[in-house]
Amino acid sequence: MQIKDSTFLITGGSSGIGKAAARMLIEKGGKVAITASGKDRLEKTAKEINAFPIHADVAKPEDIKKTYETFLKEFGKLDCLINNAGIAGGGEVEKLKWEDFEKVYSVNVFGAAIMSQKAAELFKKQKYGNIINIASTAGVKGYAGGSVYASSKFALRGLTMCWQAELRKYNVRVMCINPSEVRTSFGGRKTEEVSNRLRGEEIAHSIVSSLEMDDRGFIPEFMVWATNPF
Protein backbone atom coordinates (compact mmCIF):
# COMPACT_ATOMS: atom_id res chain seq x y z
CA MET A 1 0.00 0.00 0.00
CA GLN A 2 0.96 3.60 -0.34
CA ILE A 3 1.46 5.10 3.12
CA LYS A 4 1.07 8.71 1.95
CA ASP A 5 -2.49 9.96 2.41
CA SER A 6 -3.69 6.57 3.74
CA THR A 7 -5.52 6.49 7.07
CA PHE A 8 -4.42 4.52 10.12
CA LEU A 9 -6.03 3.76 13.47
CA ILE A 10 -3.60 2.60 16.17
CA THR A 11 -4.75 1.38 19.57
CA GLY A 12 -2.41 1.85 22.51
CA GLY A 13 -0.74 4.66 20.59
CA SER A 14 0.44 6.96 23.35
CA SER A 15 3.76 5.20 24.02
CA GLY A 16 6.07 2.36 22.98
CA ILE A 17 5.35 0.49 19.76
CA GLY A 18 2.14 2.38 19.06
CA LYS A 19 3.76 5.78 19.36
CA ALA A 20 6.78 4.76 17.28
CA ALA A 21 4.55 3.33 14.54
CA ALA A 22 2.35 6.42 14.50
CA ARG A 23 5.38 8.70 14.23
CA MET A 24 6.89 6.70 11.37
CA LEU A 25 3.63 6.53 9.43
CA ILE A 26 3.07 10.28 9.87
CA GLU A 27 6.61 11.00 8.67
CA LYS A 28 5.75 9.07 5.51
CA GLY A 29 2.61 11.13 4.95
CA GLY A 30 0.03 8.90 6.62
CA LYS A 31 -3.00 10.26 8.43
CA VAL A 32 -2.95 8.68 11.87
CA ALA A 33 -5.28 8.49 14.86
CA ILE A 34 -4.07 7.01 18.13
CA THR A 35 -6.16 5.74 21.02
CA ALA A 36 -5.28 5.20 24.67
CA SER A 37 -7.07 4.94 28.00
CA GLY A 38 -4.81 7.54 29.65
CA LYS A 39 -5.98 10.95 28.47
CA ASP A 40 -3.04 13.14 29.54
CA ARG A 41 -0.34 11.02 27.93
CA LEU A 42 -2.49 10.51 24.84
CA GLU A 43 -2.93 14.22 24.27
CA LYS A 44 0.75 14.92 24.94
CA THR A 45 1.86 12.26 22.46
CA ALA A 46 -0.64 13.34 19.82
CA LYS A 47 0.61 16.92 20.00
CA GLU A 48 4.24 15.78 19.88
CA ILE A 49 3.91 13.62 16.76
CA ASN A 50 0.94 15.39 15.10
CA ALA A 51 -1.47 12.47 15.45
CA PHE A 52 -5.23 12.69 16.02
CA PRO A 53 -6.08 11.59 19.60
CA ILE A 54 -9.11 9.50 20.53
CA HIS A 55 -9.48 8.92 24.26
CA ALA A 56 -10.82 5.37 24.47
CA ASP A 57 -10.33 2.04 26.23
CA VAL A 58 -10.49 -1.01 23.95
CA ALA A 59 -11.79 -3.06 26.89
CA LYS A 60 -15.05 -1.06 26.76
CA PRO A 61 -17.43 -1.77 23.84
CA GLU A 62 -18.95 1.70 24.12
CA ASP A 63 -15.49 3.23 23.71
CA ILE A 64 -14.86 1.15 20.60
CA LYS A 65 -18.11 2.47 19.12
CA LYS A 66 -17.04 6.02 19.97
CA THR A 67 -13.61 5.40 18.45
CA TYR A 68 -15.00 4.52 15.04
CA GLU A 69 -17.57 7.29 15.06
CA THR A 70 -14.86 9.83 15.89
CA PHE A 71 -12.34 8.40 13.44
CA LEU A 72 -14.72 8.25 10.48
CA LYS A 73 -16.01 11.75 11.17
CA GLU A 74 -12.42 13.02 11.06
CA PHE A 75 -10.98 10.94 8.20
CA GLY A 76 -13.95 9.57 6.25
CA LYS A 77 -12.42 6.15 5.64
CA LEU A 78 -10.10 3.58 7.21
CA ASP A 79 -7.22 1.94 5.37
CA CYS A 80 -5.43 0.18 8.23
CA LEU A 81 -6.17 -0.88 11.80
CA ILE A 82 -3.22 -1.66 14.06
CA ASN A 83 -4.23 -3.59 17.18
CA ASN A 84 -1.38 -2.64 19.46
CA ALA A 85 -3.06 -2.09 22.84
CA GLY A 86 -1.98 -4.73 25.32
CA ILE A 87 -1.43 -5.33 29.00
CA ALA A 88 0.62 -7.84 30.96
CA GLY A 89 -0.42 -10.19 33.73
CA GLY A 90 0.23 -13.66 35.01
CA GLY A 91 1.52 -15.84 37.78
CA GLU A 92 1.89 -19.46 38.73
CA VAL A 93 -1.06 -21.54 37.64
CA GLU A 94 -2.27 -22.54 41.10
CA LYS A 95 -2.41 -18.87 42.17
CA LEU A 96 -4.40 -17.55 39.22
CA LYS A 97 -7.86 -16.08 39.58
CA TRP A 98 -10.69 -15.70 37.08
CA GLU A 99 -10.16 -11.94 37.22
CA ASP A 100 -6.52 -12.29 36.13
CA PHE A 101 -7.62 -13.74 32.80
CA GLU A 102 -10.59 -11.42 32.42
CA LYS A 103 -8.49 -8.27 32.84
CA VAL A 104 -5.83 -9.23 30.29
CA TYR A 105 -8.16 -10.89 27.80
CA SER A 106 -10.50 -7.88 27.81
CA VAL A 107 -7.70 -5.84 26.20
CA ASN A 108 -5.42 -8.31 24.41
CA VAL A 109 -8.15 -10.51 22.92
CA PHE A 110 -11.67 -9.13 23.23
CA GLY A 111 -10.67 -5.53 22.53
CA ALA A 112 -8.66 -6.50 19.46
CA ALA A 113 -11.49 -8.72 18.24
CA ILE A 114 -14.21 -6.08 18.50
CA MET A 115 -11.97 -3.39 17.01
CA SER A 116 -11.34 -5.73 14.09
CA GLN A 117 -15.02 -6.61 13.76
CA LYS A 118 -15.86 -3.03 12.81
CA ALA A 119 -12.79 -2.72 10.61
CA ALA A 120 -13.79 -5.89 8.76
CA GLU A 121 -17.25 -4.45 8.07
CA LEU A 122 -15.69 -1.36 6.52
CA PHE A 123 -13.06 -3.27 4.59
CA LYS A 124 -15.51 -5.78 3.10
CA LYS A 125 -17.62 -2.92 1.75
CA GLN A 126 -14.66 -1.12 0.20
CA LYS A 127 -12.98 -4.36 -0.93
CA TYR A 128 -9.70 -3.30 0.60
CA GLY A 129 -7.97 -2.89 3.97
CA ASN A 130 -5.22 -3.92 6.34
CA ILE A 131 -5.23 -5.24 9.90
CA ILE A 132 -2.01 -5.67 11.86
CA ASN A 133 -2.11 -7.48 15.19
CA ILE A 134 0.79 -6.95 17.55
CA ALA A 135 1.12 -10.26 19.39
CA SER A 136 4.34 -11.58 20.95
CA THR A 137 6.91 -14.34 20.82
CA ALA A 138 5.22 -15.35 24.10
CA GLY A 139 2.31 -16.38 21.89
CA VAL A 140 4.55 -18.78 19.99
CA LYS A 141 6.14 -20.50 22.97
CA GLY A 142 4.75 -20.40 26.49
CA TYR A 143 6.83 -19.87 29.61
CA ALA A 144 6.56 -20.52 33.34
CA GLY A 145 4.17 -18.04 34.87
CA GLY A 146 2.82 -17.03 31.47
CA SER A 147 -0.57 -18.72 31.56
CA VAL A 148 -2.47 -15.45 31.25
CA TYR A 149 -0.32 -13.26 29.01
CA ALA A 150 1.07 -15.97 26.73
CA SER A 151 -2.33 -17.57 26.20
CA SER A 152 -3.82 -14.17 25.31
CA LYS A 153 -1.21 -13.77 22.59
CA PHE A 154 -1.76 -17.34 21.38
CA ALA A 155 -5.42 -16.35 21.08
CA LEU A 156 -4.58 -13.22 19.11
CA ARG A 157 -2.50 -15.27 16.70
CA GLY A 158 -5.42 -17.67 16.29
CA LEU A 159 -7.78 -14.79 15.57
CA THR A 160 -5.34 -13.52 12.97
CA MET A 161 -5.41 -16.85 11.13
CA CYS A 162 -9.22 -16.98 11.19
CA TRP A 163 -9.50 -13.45 9.82
CA GLN A 164 -6.99 -14.21 7.09
CA ALA A 165 -9.18 -17.11 5.96
CA GLU A 166 -12.31 -14.95 6.05
CA LEU A 167 -11.06 -11.70 4.54
CA ARG A 168 -8.51 -12.50 1.83
CA LYS A 169 -11.26 -12.77 -0.81
CA TYR A 170 -12.13 -9.13 -0.06
CA ASN A 171 -8.53 -8.01 -0.69
CA VAL A 172 -7.99 -7.51 3.03
CA ARG A 173 -4.54 -8.27 4.40
CA VAL A 174 -4.36 -9.46 8.03
CA MET A 175 -0.87 -9.66 9.50
CA CYS A 176 0.57 -10.67 12.85
CA ILE A 177 3.85 -9.35 14.24
CA ASN A 178 5.45 -11.12 17.20
CA PRO A 179 8.10 -9.00 18.94
CA SER A 180 10.40 -10.44 21.55
CA GLU A 181 10.98 -8.25 24.61
CA VAL A 182 10.74 -4.57 23.79
CA ARG A 183 12.39 -1.74 25.74
CA THR A 184 9.36 -0.10 27.32
CA SER A 185 7.62 0.48 30.64
CA PHE A 186 5.20 -2.31 29.69
CA GLY A 187 5.04 -4.86 32.48
CA GLY A 188 6.86 -2.55 34.87
CA ARG A 189 10.34 -2.88 33.34
CA LYS A 190 12.46 0.26 33.34
CA THR A 191 14.03 1.25 30.04
CA GLU A 192 17.51 1.73 31.45
CA GLU A 193 17.54 -1.87 32.68
CA VAL A 194 16.85 -3.36 29.25
CA SER A 195 18.59 -0.97 26.86
CA ASN A 196 19.92 -3.81 24.68
CA ARG A 197 16.43 -5.07 23.88
CA LEU A 198 14.15 -4.01 21.08
CA ARG A 199 12.77 -0.50 20.89
CA GLY A 200 9.42 0.54 19.56
CA GLU A 201 11.24 1.80 16.48
CA GLU A 202 12.27 -1.70 15.38
CA ILE A 203 8.67 -2.90 15.51
CA ALA A 204 7.47 0.28 13.81
CA HIS A 205 9.93 -0.40 10.99
CA SER A 206 8.50 -3.91 10.67
CA ILE A 207 4.95 -2.57 10.55
CA VAL A 208 5.72 0.01 7.89
CA SER A 209 7.82 -2.37 5.80
CA SER A 210 5.11 -5.02 5.77
CA LEU A 211 2.46 -2.48 4.81
CA GLU A 212 4.54 -1.04 1.99
CA MET A 213 4.59 -4.36 0.13
CA ASP A 214 2.41 -4.19 -2.97
CA ASP A 215 -1.21 -5.01 -2.13
CA ARG A 216 -1.12 -8.19 -4.18
CA GLY A 217 0.90 -9.86 -1.41
CA PHE A 218 1.34 -9.83 2.35
CA ILE A 219 3.34 -11.50 5.12
CA PRO A 220 0.88 -13.47 7.29
CA GLU A 221 3.10 -13.59 10.38
CA PHE A 222 6.65 -12.95 11.45
CA MET A 223 8.79 -12.55 14.56
CA VAL A 224 11.19 -9.75 15.45
CA TRP A 225 13.92 -10.76 17.85
CA ALA A 226 16.43 -8.63 19.74
CA THR A 227 19.88 -9.59 18.49
CA ASN A 228 21.40 -9.96 21.96
CA PRO A 229 18.93 -9.28 24.79
CA PHE A 230 21.01 -11.00 27.46
Query: From edge to edge, which strands make up the β-sheet containing 31-36?
Result: 52-55, 31-36, 7-10, 80-83, 129-134, 172-179, 221-224
Q: Write phi, then psi, for 153 (nearest 5 degrees).
A: -80, -30
User: Which one from 68, 128, 149, 170 is the annotated catalytic residue?
Assistant: 149
Burial group, residue 16, by CB count within 10 angstroms (0-12, 13-18, 19+) = buried
Q: Is 149 assigned a catalytic role?
A: yes
Judge whether 145 and 91 are in contact, CB under 8 Å.
yes
How distant, in Å, are the alpha carbons of 6, 68, 89, 217 from that of 126?
14, 16, 38, 18
Q: How many Å apart are CA 33 and CA 81, to the nearest integer?
A: 10
- Active-site positions? 149
